[in-house]
């Protein structure tokens, strides 16, 4: 429990990072998450 508390206090998922283009880690991961296969098939349909 102490390790979890330390990591949660140290790692800030909302803070913007210059290495990520001044986006938060959460936003960066959402932008780079692979799209589901069903969404890809729907967008490619004629």
pLDDT value, residue 41: 55
pLDDT value, residue 44: 61
**Tally of domains in the chain:** 1
Spell out the per-residue pLDDT of the chain, length 46, in tens. Answer: 888 887 777 777 777 888 888 888 888 888 988 877 665 555 665 5
pLDDT value, residue 38: 66
pLDDT value, residue 43: 61
Q: Which residues of 15-26 are buried (b: 16+ CB within 10 A; e: fewer)?
A: eeeeeeeeeeee
Tokens of 10: 């140290």
Residue 8 and residue 29: Cα distance in Å, rounded? 18
pLDDT value, residue 39: 58
Q: Which domain, by its residues, includes 18?
A: 2-44
pLDDT value, residue 12: 74
């Amino acid at each position: 429990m102490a390790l979890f508390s330390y990591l949660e206090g140290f790692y800030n998922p909302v803070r913007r990072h210059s290495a990520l283009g001044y986006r938060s880690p959460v936003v960066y991961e959402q932008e780079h998450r692979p799209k589901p296969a069903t969404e890809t098939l729907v967008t490619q349909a004629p």
